[in-house]
Amino acid sequence: RKEVEQDPGPFNVPEGATVAFNCTYSNSASQSFFWYRQDCRKEPKLLMSVYSSGNEDGRFTAQLNRASQYISLLIRDSKLSDSATYLCVVGTGGYQKVTFGTGTKLQVIP
Amino acid sequence: DGGITQSPKYLFRKEGQNVTLSCEQNLNHDAMYWYRQDPGQGLRLIYYSQIVNDFQKGDIAEGYSVSREKKESFPLTVTSAQKNPTAFYLCASSIQQGDTEAFFGQGTRLTVV
């Protein structure tokens, strides 16, 4: 089993739709969780950290489920500019070494 | 402005040649990383460094070498021993401790011709 797994997609959704991605991780000792956004041929950029209590930033909501070992990202009212690949990133404690998922591609359609 | 800078953005190399990719950060971060990204694949860790004059192999270190003589700099050399070097290379840095994000450079796209 891969350390971090994501559905590669693509997820093709109309503007205004709500879309959710999940990411599963195998290491129960994982302590830090992030969602990054990567535009085509660009570097990844942090979208949001994922906390145990969940967190929300505008149209984006991230949640962590430790029991089932997955994190999720919910995007409401999708915009064309949300089209990108969303990378799930999971880290273990101590040294900040993280594992990246392969990414989920989102295409928002007019 | 603080940040992490990679150069060059595009690089072409002939087979059998070594090439060095530059990565510089002025964020005062202790930890630095090199990743490789291939189409349809996630980022794979090549090397990482927690502190000056120390570095560790990542998952795919064969055919690569690094140095960390200064805190700000973590150059990556792609040697002729790397069998499939054409890829997008990303350098990143992060604060040593704590639950913090990694900042990425803009990447270097290496093509072997």
pLDDT tens digits, one per residue of A69-98:
999 999 999 999 999 999 999 887 654 567
In this prediction, residue B94 carries a pLDDT of: 85
Is the per-residue pLDDT at A48 higher than 70?
Answer: yes
Q: How far apart are CA A63 and CA A54, in angstroms?
A: 4
pLDDT 10s digits, B2-40: 799 999 999 999 988 999 999 999 999 988 999 999 987
Among A residues 8-37, those touching chain B with beta carbons less than 8 Å apart: 8, 31-32, 34
User: What is the Cα gyration radius of chain A?
Assistant: 13
Q: What is the mean pLDDT of residues B36-65?
A: 90
| Of residues B45, B90, B99, nearest to A43 (C-beta) | B90
Chain A closest-CA separation from residue B70 CA (Å): 19
Q: How far apart are CA A61 and CA A51, in angstroms?
A: 11
Among B residues 31-50, those touching chain A with beta carbons less than 8 Å apart: 31, 35, 40-43, 45, 48, 50
Phi-psi region of A9 (alpha: psi -120 to 50; beta: other; left: phi over 0): left
Pick from A101, A108, A80, A99: which is nearest to A8 by CA? Answer: A101
Q: How far apart are CA B35 and CA B110, in angstroms?
A: 13
Is the per-residue pLDDT at B80 higher than 80?
Answer: yes
In this prediction, residue A95 carries a pLDDT of: 46
Q: Is A40 on the interface with B (CB under 8 A)?
A: no
Sole residue written with tokens 């800078």: B5
Phi-psi region of B16 (alpha: psi -120 to 50; beta: other; left: phi over 0): left
